[in-house]
Amino acid sequence: MILLLDAGNSRLKWARVVEGGFCFGGAIEREDRPPRVLFRALWSDLEPAPARMVVANVAGDSFRRSLTAWVRRRWGITPEYPRPQAQGFGIVNGYRDPERLGVDRWFALVAAARKVKKGAVCVIDCGTAMTIDAMDSRHRHLGGLILPGLRLMRETLVRHTEGIALQEAPALDEAAVAPLGRDTASGVLGGTLYAGVAMIERLLEELAAELGERVQAILTGGEAEAYLPLLRDRPQHAPYLVLEGLAWYARRTAQAQPARPRRGDGQEAAPAAPGADETATPAPVAAEPVAEQGEAPAGIEA
């Protein structure tokens, strides 16, 4: 069994790759709790013990050190922390310094390339920060944008503006947000939501005009569901996109590469640049189901 972890700014999401499938394991809010408390809550009863662990970590170096130490003590393995490449797994990285692209964004692109094999694609990750990355029909990364997510925009308005408070707002039911608010709280809720909607739709229009083709949008992240009903050209919703990219990477590297040495801090040595035969999108194979309490989103390739 291979254990996968998407360690974000606000949440940890994990999954398992087992013989016969990819299974979503769950998610937990970090909420300033010590990492070891989070790890025990997620995996204290995990059976069988993983033979391998692959992590997309944007939670920082301190978190990585805590995770590495805990996993070594618990299971006697060292987590792998792969990094973005200039070119690999069918993707050409558009960043001037490829390793500066967030590893979560890289693996979201890896998964998106498996889902949209023909045509341009735009990945919109709606988390604490909203990140947007576009690829053309040849899976060349065109670059991206980073902006505040819904919660961060709202908290910033409340913190830095006199007279704005959200105490009067009901529970955040995005489906009930009107275009124009009739009180301060609903004005903030609607304003921040429609700001994101307008930006997404404008960017998709400009990308389509530049590329001369329709751009398939894929939404992921914890705030994605707030945007989905309001977008005119309904995008795909892939809530586990980063984990799906990690799973594809883990299966691919297990089949194609020998074990690589790891540095003393648990950071995996950078993978060798793939040859010409590896940069093309791999041949399709059967999609694997994702299981979460009966829900089965679009599969990924093994």
Tell me how far apart the alpha carbons of residues 86 and 105 are, in angstroms, rounded to a whole number: 13
Q: How confident is the model at residue 292 (pLDDT cuts 50, 70, 90)?
A: very low
CATH number, domain 116-237, options 2.40.50.140, 3.30.420.40, 3.10.20.30, 2.30.40.10: 3.30.420.40
Which pLDDT score is estimated for 175? 59
Angle at 296 between CA 137 and CA 247, to 5 degrees: 60
Tell me how far apart the alpha carbons of residues 224 and 130 are, in angstroms, rounded to a whole number: 10
Whole-number Cα distances in Å, 42 to 28, 37, 152: 8, 9, 26
Q: How confident is the model at residue 260 (pLDDT cuts 50, 70, 90)?
A: very low
Q: How confident is the model at residue 186 (pLDDT cuts 50, 70, 90)?
A: confident
165 Cα distance to chain centroid: 31
First vs last Cα of the chain: how many Å apart? Answer: 14
Which pLDDT score is estimated for 167? 58
**Residue partners of 167: CB distance under 8 A and separation at least 6:** 185
Residue 297 has pLDDT above 60, yes or no: no
Tell me how far apart the alpha carbons of residues 216 and 233 are, in angstroms, rounded to a whole number: 9
* Strand 141-148, strand 129-135: pairing: antiparallel
Which pLDDT score is estimated for 19? 82
- The pTM assigned to this predicted structure is 0.80
From 173-182, 184-193, 214-223, 260-269, the region with the lowest mean pLDDT? 260-269
CATH number, domain 2-84+241-301, options 3.40.720, 3.90.550, 3.30.420, 1.10.3470: 3.30.420
Interval 214-227: pLDDT, tens: 999 999 999 999 99
Q: How confident is the model at residue 18 (pLDDT cuts 50, 70, 90)?
A: confident
Average pLDDT, the chain: 83
Among this protein's residues, is 265 annotated catalytic? no
Residue 268 has pLDDT above 70, yes or no: no
Q: Which of 6, 61, 97, 104 is catalytic?
A: 104
Which pLDDT score is estimated for 182? 80
Interval 196-221 mean pLDDT: 96
Residue 21 bridge partners (DSSP): 18
Domain ranges of the chain: 2-84+241-301, 116-237
Interval 100-126 mean pLDDT: 96
Across 17-21, 177-181, 272-276, the highest mean pLDDT is recorded for 17-21
Q: How confident is the model at residue 301 (pLDDT cuts 50, 70, 90)?
A: very low
Interval 131-150 mean pLDDT: 96
**Residue partners of 23: CB distance under 8 A and separation at least 6:** 15, 16, 290, 291, 292
Residue 289 has pLDDT above 80, yes or no: no
2-84+241-301 against 116-237: fold identical: yes
Residue 296 tokens read as 């089965």
